[in-house]
């Protein structure tokens, strides 16, 4: 393809995407296809000869989700430039823009100075929060093993709450930790599903007394099930006293850090060794863009650096530059900071703040609707843009309404107009209503609630 063909094709692609945005409301929110549907629509093998772009677009049947136009434009630019910036030398711009953008973001989030690249720390863009937690876990593991000796590996203890995302468990498996010593401490409704400092302290004391080696604590701001906020100040103090690496996972809720009125949810972050948030979740940045900051980048580098002959160059050898390959698992890396840079520049911090505030207001509006209908109950405190609620079961219901709520979920989702998800808290099946799509408006929330009410009425009448 030459430059003129690129111009022609890129215009067609932009038209296609613009039409998609324009008609997005006509698509079912939840895909209505059955497993294996695509194989039936596509040929058995790749075409032997080139096809026209129009042909490909005409046959486009799969659903795709683009997070914001700014993010998409950044992604487009990144694809167009096709930079593989693993070392500074391979793309000084990709490396330096990432450092600058993450320092900008650290400032916008009012993160402690230790997370800035000008000191011993810095930020790096990972593909996902799962990778972010894995790299810090490995750095923390190696740090303690340098002190305690490699023989201590089977005795290392990791702590988090039972509400922590399963990405942490996966990271523990990959890092070779003793699965029994990856302790997901129990939470309940008495602490709104947050990790209790007392429970943590007791577990650490018992483990030390038993000859084990506590080394890592993961707290969450905005747990996946109910957006619970672990008490960072108290947990951070315990981590410090016991010399634990303290990681804070704010994959979803981290975006709210940009609003001064929600910054208090992150108080205590000063005690953290590392902090991550997914810009691709709620920050108008297209997947994939998970931002990780560490206070001591040398710990990451010691665990993840390799220095083969073929990658040696004067800038790296002279310790003059950042080589992000040493802060992540793969060698190659995309120019992801371009999309974050586009988002920051095209929305501005105020634009991003109003995006987050708008979603929180919509969720609060939904919460208000639920609270007014006595057949329903809001079951966990709402801080951000997720509402956890359930339909109350009739008296003497055998399973405490779990089947009823499961049926309500299926019935609502089968309309294709709304997609709600569920979780289980204290043994109860809970419905979750999340506002997160950039195009969601108040009228959509009203419609969703109407569907929920109608389906609940039908279900209750059928009992």
* Contacts to ligand PLP by CB under 6 A: 128-130, 165, 167, 220, 224, 249, 251-252, 278, 290
| Cα distances (angstroms) measured from residue 313 to each of 195, 297, 305, 327 | 47, 21, 15, 18
3-state secondary structure 77-123: HHHHHCCCCCCHHHCHHHHHHHHHHHHHHHHHCCCCHHHCCCCCCEE
β pairing state of 386-391 and 376-378: antiparallel
Task: Considering the complex, state which of residue 277 and residue 392 has its C-beta at the smaller distance from ligand PLP.
Answer: 277
**In angstroms, what is the minimal distance from the CB of 139 to ligand PLP?**
18
Task: Considering the complex, state which of residue 281 and residue 325 has its C-beta at the smaller distance from ligand PLP.
Answer: 281
**In angstroms, what is the minimal distance from the CB of 404 to ligand PLP?**
26
Task: Considering the complex, state which of residue 167 and residue 404 has its C-beta at the smaller distance from ligand PLP.
Answer: 167
Task: Considering the complex, state which of residue 128 and residue 358 has its C-beta at the smaller distance from ligand PLP.
Answer: 128
Tell me 216's DSSP state. E
Task: Considering the complex, state which of residue 242 and residue 276 has its C-beta at the smaller distance from ligand PLP.
Answer: 276
**In angstroms, what is the minimal distance from the CB of 285 to ligand PLP?**
12
Q: What letters, b where the CB count within 10 A reaches 16 and e where it falls short, cover 314-342? A: eebeeeebbbbbbbbeeeebbbbbbbbbb
**CA–CA separation, 335 and 289 (whole Å):** 10
**In angstroms, what is the minimal distance from the CB of 251 to ligand PLP?**
3
**In angstroms, what is the minimal distance from the CB of 366 to ligand PLP?**
19
Task: Considering the complex, state which of residue 187 and residue 402 has its C-beta at the smaller distance from ligand PLP.
Answer: 187
**In angstroms, what is the minimal distance from the CB of 431 to ligand PLP?**
17
**CA–CA separation, 428 and 402 (whole Å):** 6
**CA–CA separation, 141 and 157 (whole Å):** 10
**In angstroms, what is the minimal distance from the CB of 170 to ligand PLP?**
9
Q: How many CB atoms lie within 10 A of CB 63?
A: 13
**Looking at 162-280, which runs of residues are DSSP E strands?**
182-185, 213-220, 245-249, 274-278
**In angstroms, what is the minimal distance from the CB of 117 to ligand PLP?**
23
**In angstroms, what is the minimal distance from the CB of 229 to ligand PLP?**
11
Of 229, 285, 369, give the one whose Cα is nearest residue 101. 285
Burial class (CB in 10 A: 0-12, 13-18, 19+), 148: middle
Task: Considering the complex, state which of residue 290 and residue 316 has its C-beta at the smaller distance from ligand PLP.
Answer: 290
Tell me 193's DSSP state. T
Q: Are 232 and 266 in contact, with CB atoms under 8 Å apart?
A: yes
Task: Considering the complex, state which of residue 91 and residue 163 has its C-beta at the smaller distance from ligand PLP.
Answer: 163
Task: Considering the complex, state which of residue 290 and residue 402 has its C-beta at the smaller distance from ligand PLP.
Answer: 290
């Amino acid at each position: 393809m030459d430059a003129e063909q690129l111009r022609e094709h890129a215009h067609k692609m932009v038209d296609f995407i613009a039409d998609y945005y324009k008609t997005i409301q006509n698509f079912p929110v939840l895909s209505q296809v059955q497993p294996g549907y695509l194989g039936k629509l596509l040929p058995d093998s790749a075409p032997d000869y080139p096809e026209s772009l129009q042909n490909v677009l005409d046959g486009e049947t799969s659903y795709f989700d683009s997070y914001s136009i700014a993010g998409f434009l950044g992604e487009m630019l990144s694809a167009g430039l096709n930079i593989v910036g693993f070392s500074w030398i391979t793309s000084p711009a990709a490396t330096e823009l990432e450092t600058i953008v993450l320092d900008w973001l650290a400032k916008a989030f009012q993160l402690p100075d230790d997370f800035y690249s000008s000191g011993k720390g810095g930020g790096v863009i990972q593909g996902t929060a799962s990778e972010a937690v894995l790299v810090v876990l490995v750095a923390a593991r190696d740090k303690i093993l340098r002190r305690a000796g490699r023989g201590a590996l089977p005795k290392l203890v990791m702590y988090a709450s039972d509400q922590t995302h399963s990405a942490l468990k996966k990271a523990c498996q990959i890092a070779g930790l003793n699965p029994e010593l990856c302790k997901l401490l129990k939470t309940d409704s008495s602490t709104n599903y947050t990790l209790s400092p007392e429970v943590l302290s007791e577990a650490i004391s018992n483990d030390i007394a038993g000859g084990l080696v506590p080394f890592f604590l993961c707290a969450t701001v905005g747990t996946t099930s109910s957006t619970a906020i672990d008490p960072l100040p108290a947990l951070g103090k315990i981590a410090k006293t016991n010399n634990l690496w303290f990681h804070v996972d704010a994959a979803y809720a981290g975006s709210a850090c940009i609003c001064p009125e929600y910054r208090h949810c992150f108080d205590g972050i000063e005690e953290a060794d590392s902090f991550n948030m997914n810009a691709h979740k709620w920050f108008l940045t297209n997947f994939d863009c998970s931002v990780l900051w560490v206070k001591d980048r040398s710990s990451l580098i010691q665990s993840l650096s390799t220095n083969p002959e073929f990658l040696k160059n004067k800038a790296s050898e002279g310790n003059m530059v950042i080589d992000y390959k040493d802060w992540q698992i793969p060698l190659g890396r995309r120019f992801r900071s371009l999309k974050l840079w586009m988002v920051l520049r095209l929305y501005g911090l105020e634009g991003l703040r109003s995006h987050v505030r708008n979603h929180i207001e919509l969720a609060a509006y939904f919460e208000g609707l639920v609270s007014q209908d006595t057949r329903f109950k809001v079951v966990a405190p709402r801080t951000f843009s997720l509402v956890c609620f359930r339909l109350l079961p009739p008296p003497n219901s055998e399973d405490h309404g779990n089947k009823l709520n499961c049926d309500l979920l299926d019935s609502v989702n089968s309309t294709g107009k709304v997609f709600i998800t569920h979780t289980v808290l204290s043994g109860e099946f809970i419905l979750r209503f999340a506002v997160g799509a950039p195009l969601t408006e108040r009228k959509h929330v009203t419609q969703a609630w109407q569907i929920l009410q109608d389906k609940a009425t039908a279900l209750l009448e059928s009992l």
